[in-house]
Amino acid sequence: MTVVQNPVLPGCYPDPSICRVGEFFYLVTSTFEYLPGLPIMRSTDLVHWEQIGAAVTDQIDYSDVPSSGALYAPTIRHHDGVFYVVCTFVDPTDDARGGNFLVTATDPAGPWSDPVWLDVGGIDPSIFFDDDGRAWMHGTRLVEKDPEWFHQTEVWIREYSLTEQKLVGPEHVVWNGAVKGAVWAEGPHLYKKDGTYYLVAAEGGTEFHHAVSVASADSVTGPYTGNKGNPILTHRHLGRGSDVVGVGHADLIEAADGSWWAVCLGMRTYGGYHYNLGRECFLVPVVWEDGWPVLAPGLGRVPEQVEVPFAADGPLGVVQGTTSGVVAPGDPRWCAVRALPDEVADADGDRWLLPVRPEPLTGTGVPAFLGVRQQHRDLDVTVQVRAELPEGEEVGIAVRQSENDHVRLGLTRGRHGAWTASVVHRRKGADEALGIVELDLPDGAEVGLRLRARGQDYAFEVVRTAAEGQADALAIAVADGRTLDSVATGGFLGLWVGVYATSEGRATQSQATVGPLTYEPR
pLDDT in tens, 49-101: 999 999 999 999 999 999 999 999 999 999 999 999 999 999 988 877 889 99
Please report which helix (H) or strand (E) contains residue 486, including its range: helix 486-489
Pair (479, 422) in one structural domain: yes
Of 290, 320, 350, which residue sits at a domain end?
A: 320
Partnered with residue 380 across adjacent β-strands are 452, 520
Same domain, 284 and 304: yes
- Give pLDDT, residue 362: 97
- Say what the pLDDT of residue 169 is: 97
Residue of 15, 91, 203, 380 with catalytic role: 15
Can 186 be counted among the known catalytic residues? yes
Q: Are residues 190 and 94 in the same domain?
A: yes
Domain end, chosen from 273, 304, 320, is at 320
Q: What is the pLDDT, as a whole number, of residue 18?
A: 98
Catalytic residue among 91, 154, 186, 380: 186
Q: Can you give 107-148 as a three-state secondary structure string? A: CCCCCCCCCEECCCCCEEEEEEECCCCCEEEEEEEECCCCCC
Query: For the segment 241-278, what is each residue's pLDDT rounded down to a tens digit?
Result: 999 999 999 999 999 999 999 999 999 999 999 999 99
For residue 333, give the CATH number of its domain.
2.60.120.200
In this structure, what is the dihedral angle of CA atoms 416, 420, 424, 429, given to the nearest 10 degrees? 20
| 316, 377: one domain | no
298 plus 361 within the same structural domain:
no
Low-confidence ranges of the chain (pLDDT < 70): 1, 465-471
Answer yes or no: do 341 and 208 share one domain.
Answer: no
Distances (CA, A) of 441 to 394, 411, 414: 15, 11, 12
- 52 and 115 share one domain: yes
Number of domains in the chain: 2
pLDDT of residue 470: 58
- 182 in the same domain as 118: yes
Is there a single domain that holds both residue 349 and residue 308? no
Last residue of a domain, one of 264, 295, 320: 320
String of DSSP letters for 336-351:
EESS-HHHH-EEETTE
Residues 313 and 203 grouped into a single domain = yes
On whether both 243 and 380 belong to a single domain, the answer is no
Q: What is the CATH number of the domain that holds 65?
A: 2.115.10.20
Residues 298 and 149 in one domain: yes
Q: Is the pTM of this model over 0.85?
A: yes
Domain interval for residue 183: 2-320
